[in-house]
Amino acid sequence: AQTVTQSQPEMSVQEAETVTLSCTYDTSESDYYLFWYKQPPSRQMILVIRQEAYKQQNATENRFSVNFQKAAKSFSLKISDSQLGDAAMYFCAYTNFGNEKLTFGTGTRLTIIP
Amino acid sequence: DADVTQTPRNRITKTGKRIMLECSQTKGHDRMYWYRQDPGLGLRLIYYSFDVKDINKGEISDGYSVSRQAQAKFSLSLESAIPNQTALYFCATSDPTGGQDEKLFFGSGTQLSVL
């Protein structure tokens, strides 16, 4: 079974600084997808960024980017120019190609310090 | 209007009561899911359905049942609620054939408290 590990239960960063959230996963598959979801206090689950394992290029969405290391099974999220609205719980998630049953990590709570 | 709607938003019930959480969607997706979120545990899959006639157990289905009444409706039931079923419950949909690949679309969640 696939597992997703987020080893940082909590992180904090000064406003306008950069922060990196860590995620590792375990799988024997070669084709899969990785995601970062954001859950603000409203508790809505919001997709931040998505990476396809067969693509070597790291995904980027505005201030959010990932460092995808397939051999190391690592998928970290970098948030640049942190803003107060980035404060949330962040979940890393995995799914096999053609199978949308996501496996989630335990989450990292990010605090933004004004 | 939300594409994936969960009702109720919050619910308090007593041990032993039967409770149903409802989910409806206007996205036209065939695939629907129920997840449970607990602090420190992330989200875990309870049940999923790939079409109206297809229901499958997830990793933590014990104590739960589901009904897929139509493509748009997927309900989760707790036949006899117990306190450790206190959690935030999410419904989600997906459409791998519609260009959305493996992305999940979530409802806004139902916070259930069992006393």
Please report, to the nearest 10 degrees, the dihedral formed by the alpha carbons of residues A87, A33, A23, A91 taken in order. Answer: 30
- Closest Cβ–Cβ partner in B44, B58, B102 for A100: B102
CA–CA dist B98, A32 (Å, integer): 18
pLDDT at B2: 65
CA–CA dist A49, A93 (Å, integer): 11
pLDDT at B100: 55
- Average pLDDT over chain B reads 92
In the predicted structure, residue A94 carries a pLDDT above the cut 80 = yes
In the predicted structure, residue A100 carries a pLDDT above the cut 80 = no
Give the tokens for residue B50: 């790939």
pLDDT tens per residue, range B12-26: 999 999 999 999 999
pLDDT at A97: 75
pLDDT tens per residue, range B21-64: 999 999 999 899 999 999 889 999 999 999 999 999 999 999 99
CA–CA dist A40, B109 (Å, integer): 13
Tell me the average pLDDT across A77-102.
91
pLDDT tens per residue, range A34-46: 999 999 999 999 9
pLDDT at B1: 55
Q: Which residues of A touch B92 (CB under 8 A)?
A: 45
Query: Which residue, chain included where needed, has tokens 């609620």?
Result: B81
**For strand A108-113 and strand A10-14, is the pairing parallel, antiparallel, or unpaired?**
parallel
B90 touches chain A (CB under 8 A): yes
Give the tokens for residue A57: 């290029």
Give B83 to chain A, closest Cα distance, Å: 21
